[in-house]
Amino acid sequence: MSIDRRSLIKCGAAGAGVAIAASTLPALAARPRKEAPADAVGMLYDTTLCIGCKTCVVACREANGKPPDTSNSPGRLYDMPLDLNGTTKNVIKLYKDPDGAERSYMKAQCMHCIDPACVGACMLGALQKRELGIVTYKQEFCSGCRYCQMACPFNIPKFEWSSRAPLMDKCEMCVHRVVKGQQPGCTEVCPRKAIVFGKRADLLAEAKRRIAGSPKKYKGYRKGDAPRVYGETEGGGTQVLYVSHVPFEKLGLPDLGDKPVPEVAQTVQHGIYQGFVAPVALYAVLGAVIMRNKKAEGQKGKAS
Amino acid sequence: MSAVHEAEPVGGPIVTRGFRAVSLVLAIGVVFMIYRFMAGLGASTGLSDGYPWGIWIAFDVVTGTALACGGYAVAILVYILNKGQYHPLVRPAILTSALGYSLAGLAITIDVGRGWLLYRVPLYANHWNGNLWSFWYF
Protein backbone atom coordinates (compact mmCIF):
# COMPACT_ATOMS: atom_id res chain seq x y z
CA MET A 1 0.00 0.00 0.00
CA SER A 2 1.38 3.36 -0.95
CA ILE A 3 0.23 6.95 -0.77
CA ASP A 4 -0.83 7.96 -4.25
CA ARG A 5 -0.15 11.38 -5.59
CA ARG A 6 -3.77 12.53 -5.50
CA SER A 7 -4.30 11.77 -1.84
CA LEU A 8 -0.97 13.32 -0.93
CA ILE A 9 -1.93 16.55 -2.68
CA LYS A 10 -5.34 16.51 -0.96
CA CYS A 11 -3.74 15.99 2.41
CA GLY A 12 -1.25 18.74 1.79
CA ALA A 13 -3.92 21.19 0.62
CA ALA A 14 -6.10 20.57 3.68
CA GLY A 15 -3.12 20.97 6.02
CA ALA A 16 -2.03 24.15 4.29
CA GLY A 17 -5.58 25.51 4.58
CA VAL A 18 -5.60 24.99 8.32
CA ALA A 19 -2.12 26.46 8.67
CA ILE A 20 -3.10 29.58 6.72
CA ALA A 21 -6.32 29.98 8.71
CA ALA A 22 -4.40 29.67 11.98
CA SER A 23 -1.70 32.14 10.95
CA THR A 24 -4.02 34.84 9.63
CA LEU A 25 -6.39 34.77 12.60
CA PRO A 26 -4.14 36.71 14.98
CA ALA A 27 -4.03 39.57 12.49
CA LEU A 28 -7.84 39.63 12.35
CA ALA A 29 -8.16 39.81 16.11
CA ALA A 30 -6.29 43.07 16.67
CA ARG A 31 -6.50 43.76 20.37
CA PRO A 32 -7.83 47.22 21.25
CA ARG A 33 -5.84 49.16 23.81
CA LYS A 34 -7.65 49.36 27.11
CA GLU A 35 -8.29 52.70 28.79
CA ALA A 36 -8.84 53.36 32.47
CA PRO A 37 -12.56 53.56 33.30
CA ALA A 38 -13.86 57.12 33.69
CA ASP A 39 -14.34 56.66 37.44
CA ALA A 40 -10.98 54.90 37.93
CA VAL A 41 -9.53 55.45 41.36
CA GLY A 42 -5.84 55.28 42.17
CA MET A 43 -3.10 56.11 44.59
CA LEU A 44 -0.09 58.41 44.24
CA TYR A 45 3.13 57.67 46.12
CA ASP A 46 5.77 60.36 46.41
CA THR A 47 9.16 59.12 47.66
CA THR A 48 10.20 62.66 48.59
CA LEU A 49 7.51 62.76 51.26
CA CYS A 50 7.74 59.24 52.72
CA ILE A 51 9.58 59.02 56.05
CA GLY A 52 9.36 55.21 56.28
CA CYS A 53 7.24 55.14 59.45
CA LYS A 54 5.34 52.06 58.21
CA THR A 55 2.06 53.28 59.67
CA CYS A 56 0.53 52.30 56.34
CA VAL A 57 1.74 48.71 56.80
CA VAL A 58 -0.06 48.46 60.13
CA ALA A 59 -3.17 50.23 58.83
CA CYS A 60 -3.24 47.82 55.89
CA ARG A 61 -3.25 44.86 58.26
CA GLU A 62 -6.06 46.34 60.31
CA ALA A 63 -8.14 47.22 57.26
CA ASN A 64 -7.76 43.72 55.80
CA GLY A 65 -7.72 41.63 58.97
CA LYS A 66 -4.24 40.28 58.33
CA PRO A 67 -2.02 39.11 61.20
CA PRO A 68 1.41 40.72 61.74
CA ASP A 69 4.39 38.93 60.15
CA THR A 70 6.82 38.43 63.03
CA SER A 71 8.85 35.64 61.40
CA ASN A 72 11.93 37.84 60.82
CA SER A 73 11.90 39.57 64.17
CA PRO A 74 14.25 38.25 66.88
CA GLY A 75 12.06 36.74 69.57
CA ARG A 76 9.11 37.17 67.20
CA LEU A 77 8.22 40.46 68.86
CA TYR A 78 7.67 42.87 65.99
CA ASP A 79 5.88 43.03 62.69
CA MET A 80 8.83 42.83 60.25
CA PRO A 81 7.86 41.75 56.74
CA LEU A 82 10.91 41.83 54.45
CA ASP A 83 8.74 41.95 51.36
CA LEU A 84 5.18 41.38 50.30
CA ASN A 85 4.08 37.89 51.31
CA GLY A 86 1.08 35.71 52.01
CA THR A 87 -0.04 37.95 54.87
CA THR A 88 1.41 41.30 53.74
CA LYS A 89 -0.39 43.27 51.04
CA ASN A 90 1.58 46.47 51.53
CA VAL A 91 5.18 47.00 52.58
CA ILE A 92 7.70 49.83 52.92
CA LYS A 93 11.20 49.00 51.74
CA LEU A 94 14.39 51.04 51.87
CA TYR A 95 16.72 51.56 48.92
CA LYS A 96 20.27 52.61 49.78
CA ASP A 97 22.81 53.37 47.08
CA PRO A 98 25.86 51.21 47.92
CA ASP A 99 28.41 53.91 46.96
CA GLY A 100 26.51 57.12 47.55
CA ALA A 101 24.25 58.87 49.92
CA GLU A 102 21.21 58.32 47.73
CA ARG A 103 18.42 56.62 49.58
CA SER A 104 14.69 56.31 49.36
CA TYR A 105 11.75 54.49 50.81
CA MET A 106 9.60 52.49 48.48
CA LYS A 107 6.03 51.44 49.03
CA ALA A 108 5.08 48.21 47.29
CA GLN A 109 1.51 47.07 46.71
CA CYS A 110 -0.60 46.11 43.69
CA MET A 111 -0.25 48.66 40.88
CA HIS A 112 -3.83 48.04 39.64
CA CYS A 113 -2.84 47.97 35.97
CA ILE A 114 -5.27 49.30 33.42
CA ASP A 115 -4.64 46.13 31.38
CA PRO A 116 -3.49 43.61 33.99
CA ALA A 117 -1.45 40.56 33.02
CA CYS A 118 -2.66 38.66 36.08
CA VAL A 119 -6.30 38.94 35.02
CA GLY A 120 -5.42 37.51 31.61
CA ALA A 121 -3.44 34.71 33.20
CA CYS A 122 -5.99 33.73 35.84
CA MET A 123 -7.43 30.41 34.76
CA LEU A 124 -10.65 30.52 36.78
CA GLY A 125 -11.25 34.27 36.74
CA ALA A 126 -10.48 34.79 40.43
CA LEU A 127 -8.60 37.97 39.54
CA GLN A 128 -10.91 40.48 37.89
CA LYS A 129 -10.89 44.17 37.19
CA ARG A 130 -14.08 45.39 38.80
CA GLU A 131 -15.69 48.62 39.96
CA LEU A 132 -13.52 51.75 39.79
CA GLY A 133 -10.89 49.77 37.89
CA ILE A 134 -9.68 47.99 41.02
CA VAL A 135 -8.08 44.57 40.37
CA THR A 136 -9.91 42.34 42.84
CA TYR A 137 -9.32 38.79 43.97
CA LYS A 138 -12.20 36.38 44.64
CA GLN A 139 -10.64 33.64 46.70
CA GLU A 140 -13.46 31.16 46.22
CA PHE A 141 -12.51 30.93 42.53
CA CYS A 142 -8.77 30.48 43.10
CA SER A 143 -7.21 27.06 42.59
CA GLY A 144 -3.79 28.29 43.72
CA CYS A 145 -2.01 27.65 40.42
CA ARG A 146 0.25 30.71 40.83
CA TYR A 147 0.03 31.70 37.17
CA CYS A 148 -0.62 35.28 38.32
CA GLN A 149 2.77 35.28 40.03
CA MET A 150 4.39 34.26 36.77
CA ALA A 151 2.44 36.91 34.84
CA CYS A 152 2.76 39.99 37.07
CA PRO A 153 5.59 42.30 35.93
CA PHE A 154 5.72 43.88 39.41
CA ASN A 155 5.91 40.62 41.44
CA ILE A 156 2.85 41.55 43.44
CA PRO A 157 0.63 38.47 43.99
CA LYS A 158 1.98 36.33 46.82
CA PHE A 159 1.14 32.80 47.85
CA GLU A 160 0.46 31.23 51.24
CA TRP A 161 3.34 28.77 51.09
CA SER A 162 2.78 27.16 54.46
CA SER A 163 -0.97 26.62 54.20
CA ARG A 164 -2.63 23.28 53.45
CA ALA A 165 -5.26 24.99 51.32
CA PRO A 166 -3.29 28.01 50.16
CA LEU A 167 -4.66 31.16 48.57
CA MET A 168 -3.06 34.16 46.93
CA ASP A 169 -2.73 37.52 48.64
CA LYS A 170 -2.62 40.92 47.02
CA CYS A 171 -3.68 44.52 47.59
CA GLU A 172 -7.24 45.22 46.43
CA MET A 173 -7.01 48.95 47.18
CA CYS A 174 -9.31 48.22 50.13
CA VAL A 175 -12.23 47.90 47.74
CA HIS A 176 -14.48 46.91 50.66
CA ARG A 177 -13.81 50.33 52.23
CA VAL A 178 -13.77 52.34 49.02
CA VAL A 179 -17.26 51.22 47.97
CA LYS A 180 -18.49 52.52 51.35
CA GLY A 181 -16.95 55.92 50.63
CA GLN A 182 -13.92 55.38 52.87
CA GLN A 183 -10.25 55.54 51.89
CA PRO A 184 -7.87 52.59 51.71
CA GLY A 185 -6.18 51.88 55.04
CA CYS A 186 -2.73 53.07 53.95
CA THR A 187 -3.75 56.43 52.52
CA GLU A 188 -6.00 57.22 55.45
CA VAL A 189 -3.22 57.08 58.03
CA CYS A 190 -0.16 58.39 56.13
CA PRO A 191 1.05 61.30 58.31
CA ARG A 192 2.98 62.95 55.45
CA LYS A 193 0.46 62.28 52.69
CA ALA A 194 3.20 60.44 50.84
CA ILE A 195 0.52 58.06 49.64
CA VAL A 196 -2.76 59.66 48.65
CA PHE A 197 -5.97 58.23 47.29
CA GLY A 198 -8.22 59.77 44.67
CA LYS A 199 -9.44 59.64 41.11
CA ARG A 200 -6.63 58.50 38.79
CA ALA A 201 -7.07 61.49 36.49
CA ASP A 202 -6.76 63.94 39.42
CA LEU A 203 -3.73 62.14 40.82
CA LEU A 204 -2.01 62.15 37.44
CA ALA A 205 -2.55 65.90 37.18
CA GLU A 206 -1.25 66.38 40.73
CA ALA A 207 1.84 64.27 40.01
CA LYS A 208 2.59 66.30 36.90
CA ARG A 209 2.10 69.51 38.84
CA ARG A 210 4.65 68.36 41.44
CA ILE A 211 7.16 67.47 38.73
CA ALA A 212 6.60 70.78 36.94
CA GLY A 213 7.05 72.58 40.26
CA SER A 214 10.46 71.07 40.99
CA PRO A 215 11.79 69.32 37.88
CA LYS A 216 15.30 69.00 39.40
CA LYS A 217 14.03 66.99 42.35
CA TYR A 218 12.22 64.22 40.46
CA LYS A 219 13.78 61.51 38.27
CA GLY A 220 12.94 59.14 35.42
CA TYR A 221 13.74 55.46 34.87
CA ARG A 222 17.52 55.83 34.93
CA LYS A 223 20.02 58.42 36.01
CA GLY A 224 19.77 61.43 33.72
CA ASP A 225 16.32 60.60 32.32
CA ALA A 226 13.71 63.34 32.26
CA PRO A 227 11.42 63.18 35.31
CA ARG A 228 8.16 61.37 34.74
CA VAL A 229 5.15 59.89 36.48
CA TYR A 230 5.58 56.13 36.75
CA GLY A 231 2.33 54.44 35.80
CA GLU A 232 1.03 57.05 33.36
CA THR A 233 1.66 54.72 30.38
CA GLU A 234 3.95 51.98 31.78
CA GLY A 235 2.74 48.54 30.76
CA GLY A 236 -0.43 50.10 29.36
CA GLY A 237 -0.75 52.35 32.41
CA THR A 238 -1.39 51.66 36.07
CA GLN A 239 -3.82 53.19 38.53
CA VAL A 240 -1.18 53.50 41.24
CA LEU A 241 1.26 56.25 40.29
CA TYR A 242 4.76 56.98 41.53
CA VAL A 243 6.97 60.06 41.50
CA SER A 244 10.46 59.63 42.84
CA HIS A 245 13.70 61.43 43.68
CA VAL A 246 15.76 58.32 42.81
CA PRO A 247 15.55 56.60 39.42
CA PHE A 248 12.64 54.16 39.19
CA GLU A 249 14.87 51.24 38.25
CA LYS A 250 16.53 51.53 41.67
CA LEU A 251 13.13 51.19 43.32
CA GLY A 252 12.33 47.99 41.45
CA LEU A 253 9.91 49.63 39.03
CA PRO A 254 10.80 48.14 35.64
CA ASP A 255 10.90 50.04 32.36
CA LEU A 256 8.01 48.20 30.73
CA GLY A 257 7.50 50.47 27.75
CA ASP A 258 4.01 51.72 27.07
CA LYS A 259 2.66 48.48 25.59
CA PRO A 260 0.24 46.55 27.81
CA VAL A 261 2.10 43.59 29.32
CA PRO A 262 -0.35 40.89 28.17
CA GLU A 263 -0.76 42.33 24.66
CA VAL A 264 1.42 39.96 22.62
CA ALA A 265 0.47 36.80 24.48
CA GLN A 266 -3.24 37.54 24.36
CA THR A 267 -3.23 38.57 20.71
CA VAL A 268 -1.65 35.23 19.77
CA GLN A 269 -3.78 33.24 22.17
CA HIS A 270 -7.05 34.89 21.20
CA GLY A 271 -6.10 34.65 17.54
CA ILE A 272 -5.30 30.97 17.44
CA TYR A 273 -8.34 29.99 19.44
CA GLN A 274 -10.67 32.58 17.88
CA GLY A 275 -14.12 31.01 18.17
CA PHE A 276 -12.35 27.69 18.68
CA VAL A 277 -12.23 27.38 14.86
CA ALA A 278 -8.61 26.42 14.28
CA PRO A 279 -8.44 23.47 16.72
CA VAL A 280 -11.77 22.08 15.52
CA ALA A 281 -10.71 22.44 11.89
CA LEU A 282 -7.39 20.73 12.57
CA TYR A 283 -9.03 17.80 14.32
CA ALA A 284 -11.71 17.58 11.63
CA VAL A 285 -9.04 17.32 8.95
CA LEU A 286 -7.11 14.68 10.86
CA GLY A 287 -10.31 12.73 11.51
CA ALA A 288 -11.32 12.93 7.86
CA VAL A 289 -7.93 11.60 6.74
CA ILE A 290 -8.19 8.67 9.14
CA MET A 291 -11.73 7.87 7.96
CA ARG A 292 -10.61 8.00 4.35
CA ASN A 293 -7.64 5.77 5.06
CA LYS A 294 -9.88 3.27 6.78
CA LYS A 295 -12.36 3.28 3.91
CA ALA A 296 -9.62 2.72 1.36
CA GLU A 297 -8.31 -0.07 3.56
CA GLY A 298 -11.76 -1.76 3.65
CA GLN A 299 -12.11 -1.63 -0.17
CA LYS A 300 -8.64 -3.04 -0.65
CA GLY A 301 -9.41 -5.86 1.80
CA LYS A 302 -12.49 -6.80 -0.27
CA ALA A 303 -10.58 -6.70 -3.55
CA SER A 304 -7.76 -8.99 -2.46
CA MET B 1 -4.18 -7.57 4.56
CA SER B 2 -5.50 -5.98 7.67
CA ALA B 3 -3.54 -3.11 9.14
CA VAL B 4 -5.06 -3.57 12.60
CA HIS B 5 -3.45 -6.26 14.67
CA GLU B 6 -5.48 -7.93 17.39
CA ALA B 7 -4.80 -7.13 21.04
CA GLU B 8 -3.30 -10.00 23.02
CA PRO B 9 -1.75 -10.35 26.47
CA VAL B 10 2.00 -9.86 26.68
CA GLY B 11 2.42 -12.45 29.44
CA GLY B 12 5.23 -12.71 31.96
CA PRO B 13 5.44 -11.59 35.60
CA ILE B 14 4.11 -8.18 36.67
CA VAL B 15 6.36 -7.66 39.70
CA THR B 16 9.79 -7.42 38.10
CA ARG B 17 12.93 -5.68 39.29
CA GLY B 18 12.01 -2.55 37.33
CA PHE B 19 8.52 -2.60 38.80
CA ARG B 20 9.95 -2.70 42.32
CA ALA B 21 12.38 0.15 41.61
CA VAL B 22 9.64 2.38 40.22
CA SER B 23 7.34 1.46 43.11
CA LEU B 24 10.01 2.67 45.52
CA VAL B 25 10.14 6.05 43.74
CA LEU B 26 6.34 6.16 43.89
CA ALA B 27 6.37 5.40 47.63
CA ILE B 28 8.81 8.26 48.27
CA GLY B 29 6.53 10.50 46.22
CA VAL B 30 3.51 9.52 48.30
CA VAL B 31 5.36 10.42 51.50
CA PHE B 32 6.08 13.91 50.17
CA MET B 33 2.53 14.22 48.90
CA ILE B 34 1.23 13.61 52.40
CA TYR B 35 3.81 16.05 53.79
CA ARG B 36 2.61 18.69 51.31
CA PHE B 37 -0.92 18.43 52.68
CA MET B 38 0.39 18.70 56.24
CA ALA B 39 3.01 21.46 56.01
CA GLY B 40 2.14 23.27 52.78
CA LEU B 41 3.83 23.67 49.44
CA GLY B 42 6.67 25.87 50.69
CA ALA B 43 8.03 23.31 53.14
CA SER B 44 7.58 20.28 50.89
CA THR B 45 8.82 21.67 47.59
CA GLY B 46 11.17 24.53 48.47
CA LEU B 47 9.19 26.84 46.22
CA SER B 48 8.84 30.48 47.23
CA ASP B 49 7.36 33.71 45.95
CA GLY B 50 10.63 34.19 44.04
CA TYR B 51 10.30 30.78 42.35
CA PRO B 52 6.58 30.11 42.26
CA TRP B 53 6.81 27.28 39.73
CA GLY B 54 10.37 26.01 39.68
CA ILE B 55 11.69 22.60 38.66
CA TRP B 56 8.66 20.99 40.27
CA ILE B 57 6.36 22.15 37.48
CA ALA B 58 9.13 22.00 34.88
CA PHE B 59 9.54 18.31 35.53
CA ASP B 60 6.11 16.90 36.22
CA VAL B 61 4.08 19.02 33.86
CA VAL B 62 6.31 20.31 31.12
CA THR B 63 8.60 17.30 30.78
CA GLY B 64 5.97 14.74 31.71
CA THR B 65 3.41 15.90 29.19
CA ALA B 66 6.04 16.37 26.50
CA LEU B 67 7.18 12.77 26.94
CA ALA B 68 3.62 11.52 26.99
CA CYS B 69 2.84 13.50 23.87
CA GLY B 70 5.27 11.28 21.92
CA GLY B 71 2.77 8.43 21.99
CA TYR B 72 0.08 10.53 20.39
CA ALA B 73 2.56 11.79 17.83
CA VAL B 74 3.32 8.17 16.92
CA ALA B 75 -0.40 7.45 16.67
CA ILE B 76 -0.87 10.39 14.31
CA LEU B 77 2.04 9.24 12.19
CA VAL B 78 0.68 5.71 11.95
CA TYR B 79 -2.96 6.58 11.33
CA ILE B 80 -2.51 9.55 9.03
CA LEU B 81 0.75 9.34 7.15
CA ASN B 82 1.35 5.61 7.39
CA LYS B 83 -2.30 4.57 6.83
CA GLY B 84 -2.09 2.10 9.67
CA GLN B 85 0.67 -0.07 8.27
CA TYR B 86 2.67 0.11 11.49
CA HIS B 87 -0.37 -0.45 13.66
CA PRO B 88 1.51 -2.75 16.11
CA LEU B 89 3.26 0.42 17.33
CA VAL B 90 0.04 2.14 18.23
CA ARG B 91 -1.10 0.22 21.31
CA PRO B 92 2.04 0.67 23.42
CA ALA B 93 2.32 4.28 22.26
CA ILE B 94 -1.26 5.14 23.26
CA LEU B 95 -0.89 3.31 26.56
CA THR B 96 2.25 5.32 27.39
CA SER B 97 0.51 8.57 26.49
CA ALA B 98 -2.65 7.78 28.41
CA LEU B 99 -0.65 6.91 31.52
CA GLY B 100 1.64 9.92 31.11
CA TYR B 101 -1.14 12.44 30.70
CA SER B 102 -3.24 10.94 33.48
CA LEU B 103 -0.33 11.07 35.91
CA ALA B 104 0.57 14.62 34.90
CA GLY B 105 -3.07 15.61 35.37
CA LEU B 106 -3.05 13.96 38.78
CA ALA B 107 0.22 15.67 39.72
CA ILE B 108 -1.29 19.07 38.91
CA THR B 109 -3.96 18.58 41.55
CA ILE B 110 -1.15 18.43 44.11
CA ASP B 111 0.88 21.24 42.50
CA VAL B 112 -1.86 23.80 42.71
CA GLY B 113 -2.96 25.09 46.07
CA ARG B 114 -6.52 23.85 45.91
CA GLY B 115 -6.62 20.93 43.52
CA TRP B 116 -10.17 20.06 44.45
CA LEU B 117 -11.37 23.22 42.69
CA LEU B 118 -9.94 22.13 39.34
CA TYR B 119 -13.23 20.49 38.37
CA ARG B 120 -14.40 24.04 37.73
CA VAL B 121 -11.89 24.58 34.98
CA PRO B 122 -14.06 23.25 32.13
CA LEU B 123 -17.13 24.90 33.66
CA TYR B 124 -16.22 28.46 34.55
CA ALA B 125 -12.89 28.97 32.90
CA ASN B 126 -11.48 32.26 31.73
CA HIS B 127 -11.67 31.26 28.10
CA TRP B 128 -8.66 33.02 26.73
CA ASN B 129 -6.14 31.61 29.03
CA GLY B 130 -2.92 29.80 28.22
CA ASN B 131 -3.00 27.69 31.34
CA LEU B 132 -6.48 26.60 30.38
CA TRP B 133 -5.34 25.42 26.99
CA SER B 134 -2.61 23.35 28.52
CA PHE B 135 -5.47 21.79 30.43
CA TRP B 136 -7.43 21.03 27.32
CA TYR B 137 -4.54 19.11 25.91
CA PHE B 138 -4.65 16.57 28.70
Q: Which pLDDT tens digit goes with each residue over A175-196?
A: 999 999 999 999 999 999 999 9
Closest partner residue to B43 among A84, A150, A162, by Cβ? A162
CB B75 within 8 A of CB A284: no
Q: How far is A302 from chain B (nearest CA, A)?
A: 10
Longest dimension (CA), chain A: 93
Please state which of the ranges A23-32, A187-196, B67-76, B109-118 shows the lowest mean pLDDT: A23-32
CB A18 within 8 A of CB A58: no
Whether the predicted interface score ipTM is above 0.85: no
Q: How far is A257 from chain B (nearest CA, A)?
A: 23
CB B129 within 8 A of CB A120: yes
Q: How far is B108 from chain A (nearest CA, A)?
A: 9
Query: What's the mean pLDDT in B81-100?
Result: 84
Q: What percent of chain B has pLDDT over 70?
A: 86
Instruction: For A22-36, write each residue's pLDDT tens digit.
Output: 555 545 456 788 899
Q: What is the pLDDT of residue A244?
A: 96
Using the predicted structure, report yes or no on whether residue A13 has a pLDDT greater than 70: no
Q: Looking at the domain A41-259, which fold is it? A: Alpha-Beta Plaits (3.30.70)
Instruction: For B22-45, write each residue's pLDDT tens digit.
Output: 999 999 999 999 999 999 999 988
Q: What is the pLDDT of residue B136?
A: 46
| B58: chain A residues, CB-CB within 8 Å | none
Cβ pairs bridging A and B (under 8 Å): 125
Using the predicted structure, report yes or no on whether residue A8 has a pLDDT greater than 90: no
Beta carbons of B40 and A166 less than 8 Å apart: yes
Q: What is the pLDDT of residue A300?
A: 61
**C-alpha span between A190 and A57 (Å, rounded):** 10
Please state which of the ranges A102-116, A152-166, B65-79 shows the lowest mean pLDDT: B65-79
Beta carbons of A125 and B126 less than 8 Å apart: yes
Beta carbons of A124 and B128 less than 8 Å apart: no
Torsion of CA A173, A177, A179, A184, to 10 degrees: -40
Query: What's the mean pLDDT in A38-55?
Result: 96
Bridge partner residues of A70 (DSSP): none
| A116: chain B residues, CB-CB within 8 Å | none
Beta carbons of B39 and A293 less than 8 Å apart: no
Query: What's the mean pLDDT in A91-114?
Result: 93
Closest partner residue to A301 among B1, B42, B52, by Cβ? B1
CB B83 within 8 A of CB A3: yes
- For A234-261, letters b (16+ CB in 10 Å) and e give bbbbbbbbbbbbbbbebbebbebeeebb
Q: What is the pLDDT of residue B76?
A: 85
Where exactly are the structural domains of chain A? 5-32+264-303, 41-259
Query: Residues with Cβ < 8 Å from A300, sequence gap 6 or more?
Result: A1, B1
- pLDDT-derived band of residue B102, with 50, 70 and 90 as boundaries? confident
Q: What is the pLDDT of residue A304?
A: 42
Q: What percent of chain A has pLDDT over 70?
A: 88
Closest partner residue to B126 among A123, A160, A163, by Cβ? A123
Q: How far is B118 from chain A (nearest CA, A)?
A: 7
Query: What's the mean pLDDT in A268-277?
Result: 77
Q: What is the pLDDT of residue A191?
A: 97
Q: What is the pLDDT of residue B4?
A: 64
Please state which of the ranges A103-107, A203-207, B79-83, B98-102 shows the lowest mean pLDDT: B79-83
Interface probe for B, chosen from A3, A145, A261, A299 (most Cβ of B below 10 Å), is: A145
Q: Phi, psi (5° rounding) for residue B53?
A: -110, -55
Query: What's the mean pLDDT in B48-67?
Result: 81
CB A121 within 8 A of CB B130: yes
Q: What is the pLDDT of residue A99?
A: 84
| B39: chain A residues, CB-CB within 8 Å | 162
Where exactly are the structural domains of chain B? 13-49, 53-136
Please choose, from the candidates B68, B113, B118, the residue with its C-alpha nearest in 3D space to the C-alpha of residue B93.
B68
Beta carbons of A150 and B52 less than 8 Å apart: yes
Mean pLDDT of chain A: 88
Beta carbons of B49 and A3 less than 8 Å apart: no
Using the predicted structure, report yes or no on whether residue B2 has a pLDDT greater than 70: no
Please choose, from the candidates B136, B59, B113, the residue with its C-alpha nearest in 3D space to the C-alpha of residue A148.
B113
Q: How far is A36 from chain B (nearest CA, A)?
A: 21
Q: What is the pLDDT of residue B68?
A: 85
- pLDDT-derived band of residue B101, with 50, 70 and 90 as boundaries? confident
